[in-house]
Amino acid sequence: MIVAKPMRDFALEVHFSKWEFKARYNLTGSDAESMTISKLLAFATDDERSAFENLHLGYTETFGSPALREAIAGTYDTIGAEDVLCFAGAGEGIFVAMQVLLRAGDHAVVITPNYQSAETVPLTICEVSGVALDESNGWSLDVDRIGAAIRPSTRLVSINFPNNPTGAIPTQETMNALLDLCRENDLWLFSDEVYRGLETDPSRRVQQIADSYEKGLSLNVMSKAYGLPGLRIGWIACRDRELLARMERYKHYLSICNSGPSELLATIALKSRKAILERNVALIRKNIVAARHFFDAHRDLFEFEAPDGGCVCFVKYKGADGVEEFTRRLVEEAGVLLLPSSLYRSEVGDVPQDYFRLGLGRTLVSQALNAMQNFMRKSGQ
Ligand SMILES: Cc1ncc(COP(=O)(O)O)c(C=O)c1O
């Protein structure tokens, strides 16, 4: 008999509960710099501004407001508003999709390292195998390894690109090979695309899964690429309407519906998504230059590779004290928050334990690197 595991603590979120609002410099944030409501409303038309001020604060439609679903559909090539179900953030989308798609006796394949709920939620339901991204080859995805993990009971493959924490993106060719594999084996492909749009080289952007696969689920959210996590608006796009309807019924037990003001603000942001994404990519590019400058000066201690996309990357730490001790002292003594790779420990595979996650989406990156520099000078590093 297969016994599902109890849900273990979400290591990264537990660490963030302790430090995110206490540390002076969050140098590990996975979201692009946010903005105020008034800055966002500067993108709105007069009618939208008036609609926001006069909004009736009742419940909204469980699927999401028609205008929001329409705006979301506009971010895909083939998806219509009816193919979109909204959630309270991406986290709720992961939870609901796994509950609806998986049953005891099924098997799921997830990549590692991962955003922990990608493996912890399915592990509470069924068996899960991890497939490691190849550390020695720029955290690349090896589709043959996914193929080798597939069993007769496999029902789902779960991926996340641009990847948290490594910032890796496979080529479109690799993604096509993965699609072929899923099609041949009749598998659901759950694709967490929350960092899409933040590729520093736009030619690295890969197609969204819901556009290219009939059993594909594309997860996205306002939190990351758009830098608006406070809205708590996420969604899943999928061409299987029956599946969407089942997920909608599951959502009745959770958030029921989104926040009305957030739906309106998200709709406004999505209509101006080009300008918002350009602003965020420009900031990431600037921060990559600052980070490269810093890490080049400390090659004995760090190995830094800029992300292919997204706000985060995994930096290798080579100091004799070890990354746990280094990141602990850095936050306690200098107020600079990083995430050691122990927080990415996986129950379904080995994750190298000598890395930390660096965030490159915020305006404070240069300041935080200066604080890190001072800390290292004082520590004689
Ligand atoms: C890959 C990935 N998926 C999902 C989420 C959850 O996003 P949200 O905070 O919008 O629920 C995160 C948050 O860090 C993430 O990095």
Q: What is the pLDDT of residues 17-71, one digit of tens each?
A: 999 999 999 999 999 999 999 999 999 999 999 999 999 999 999 999 999 999 9
Superfamily of domain 11-36+274-378: Aspartate Aminotransferase, domain 1 (3.90.1150.10)
Mean pLDDT score of the chain, rounded to an integer? 97
Distance (Å, whole) CA 225 – CA 34: 10
Residue 135's Cβ-count burial label (10 Å; 0-12, 13-18, 19+) is middle
Distance (Å, whole) CA 127 – CA 113: 17
Q: Answer whether 299's CB lies under 8 Å from 219's CB.
A: no
Every domain of the chain with CATH number 3.90.1150.10 lies at 11-36+274-378
Q: Is the CB of 287 under 6 A from ligand 1?
A: no
How many whole angstroms from 115 Cα to the centroid of ligand 1?
Answer: 7
Q: Is the CB of 117 under 6 A from ligand 1?
A: no
Which atom of ligand 1 is least distant from the CA of 91?
11
The beta strands (E) that lie in 146-298 are given as 154-160, 188-192, 216-221, 234-237
DSSP 3: P
Q: Is the CB of 158 under 6 A from ligand 1?
A: no
Across the range 97-103, mean pLDDT stands at 98
Cα 92–chain centre separation: 13
Which atom of ligand 1 is least distant from the CA of 223?
10
pLDDT above 70 (res 180): yes
DSSP 207: P
pLDDT above 60 (res 326): yes
Q: Is the CB of 160 under 6 A from ligand 1?
A: yes
Q: Considering only the top CATH level, what class is 55-272?
A: alpha beta
pLDDT interval class at 99 (50, 70, 90): very high
Which atom of ligand 1 is least distant from the CA of 114?
1
Identify which of 154, 33, 167, 31 has the alpha carbon closest to the alpha carbon of residue 103.
Answer: 154
Instruction: Measure the N-to-C terminal CA separation of the chain; round to a whole number of Å.
Output: 53
Beta bridge partners of 82: none
- Testing ligand 1's pocket by substitution, the residue of 111, 112, 115, 117 carrying the most ligand atoms inside 8 A of its CB is 115
**What per-residue confidence (pLDDT) applies to 1?**
54
Considering only CA atoms, which residue is closest to atom 14 of ligand 1? 30
Every domain of the chain with CATH number 3.40.640.10 lies at 55-272
Q: Name residue, tokens 């699609």.
A: 179
Cα 71–chain centre separation: 20
Distance (Å, whole) CA 212 – CA 187: 14
Q: Is the CB of 170 under 6 A from ligand 1?
A: no
Residue 115's alpha-carbon distances to 32, 162, 255, 290, in angstroms, are 17, 12, 21, 26
Spatial CB neighbours of 303, under 8 Å, sequence gap ≥ 6: 295, 315, 316, 318
Across the range 133-150, mean pLDDT stands at 98
pLDDT interval class at 3 (50, 70, 90): low
Q: Is the CB of 89 under 6 A from ligand 1?
A: yes
pLDDT above 90 (res 334): yes
Give phi and psi for 304, each to the nearest 5: -115, 130
Task: Provide the 10 A C-beta neighbour count for residue 184.
Answer: 10
Q: Answer whether 220's CB lies under 8 Å from 196's CB.
A: yes
**Model confidence, pTM:** 0.98
- Token readout for 145 is 């390894």
